[in-house]
Amino acid sequence: MAGEGKWNWKVAHGRELVLGTDARIMAVVNVTPDSFSDGGQYDTIETAVKHALDCVAERADILDIGGESTRPGAGPVSAAEEQDRVLPVIARLAKETDALISVDTYRAETARLAVEAGAHIVNDVFGAQKEPEIARVAAETGAGLCLMHTGRDRVKLADPIEDQLHFLRRSLGIAEAAGVRHEAIVLDPGFGFAKETDENLELIARFAELEVLGHPFLVGTSRKRFVGAVTGREPAERDAGTAATSVILRLAGAVIFRVHNVAFNRDVLAMTDAMLKSRQRREPGQRP
């Protein structure tokens, strides 16, 4: 967490990323026809690679490549179709940029093939609880593992923080049993995944309570439905609302921000980090 100092996130292919001192940006690269914000814009290898490289030019630290939409009501995609979408893009990017590459999947075999193609990080929206073998893939390949909380397909506890702790501790147990290194794991509270607007807002307000889990946090509020509920904006018009959540969550300790608009969020987080460092110089021991 930002409040706990520096963390070297160990990922595949001998790479690592320093977390905590500065906010890090994960760019969304959806190679899908039906994602809620940008579905169909980057659903070919060429358009996806170009978009990803544009995000690198805007100083994205990580490129998150996904081949299956996770929006509510999205149609299922087979493992073969998911792999046909993401693997060529990952292989191209591994040759064309030094940015870290993440594969957004809950499937163990897709994760294994993605790391073989050049991915450094596995980003699982089911927190290794849909296909627990994905944790063994991370352990065996040395990939960084992002374990996300979700409320889908289960009964949640009434208190959102208690539910976060209950779910993510189970995910951490799966990862530990599989042999994933402690320093390879990042957590994600899963904004928008089976969470109503009030629940998302309470989770932002109480975010610092998640520090007890002892791992850095990635957050993905970008253009989510709850941002639209508050602002009245359509998905493509939610970058300002997203940026507001980025600032609040950075102040509360989040270190990685998964966003659609890299440049917008990079600027607001740079200002937030500058303020935090100024405060730290005056008040040693404060964030970050």
> What's the rounded Cα separation, in Å, for the pair 119 and 117?
6
> What's the rounded Cα separation, in Å, for the pair 124 and 142?
15
- Across the range 177-194, mean pLDDT stands at 97
Whether 136 is a known active-site residue: answer no
- Across the range 257-269, mean pLDDT stands at 97
Q: Count H helices, E strands: the chain? A: 9, 10
Confidence class of residue 287 from pLDDT cuts 50, 70 and 90? low
**Amino acid type, 46:** E
- Across the range 98-107, mean pLDDT stands at 98
- Across the range 193-216, mean pLDDT stands at 97
Q: By the 8 A CB rule, do 126 and 134 touch?
A: no
What's this model's pTM, rounded to 2 decimal places? 0.93
Confidence class of residue 138 from pLDDT cuts 50, 70 and 90? very high
- Across the range 212-237, mean pLDDT stands at 97
The bridge status of strand 185-188 relative to strand 24-30 is unpaired
Confidence class of residue 6 from pLDDT cuts 50, 70 and 90? confident
Position 98 scores a pLDDT of: 97
The 10s digit of each residue's pLDDT in 11-53 is 999 999 999 999 999 999 999 874 444 445 666 899 999 999 9
Whether 224 is a known active-site residue: answer yes
Does the structure show a pLDDT above 60 at 1? no
**Amino acid type, 232:** G
The 10s digit of each residue's pLDDT in 47-71 is 999 999 999 999 999 999 999 877 6
Position 44 scores a pLDDT of: 87
Catalytic residue among 92, 136, 258, 287, which? 258
Those residues with Cβ within 8 angstroms of residue 100's Cβ, 6 or more apart along the chain or in another chain: 11, 15, 17, 61, 62, 63, 120, 121, 144
Structural domains in the chain, CATH included, are 2-282 (3.20.20.20)
Catalytic residue among 224, 225, 238, 250, which? 224
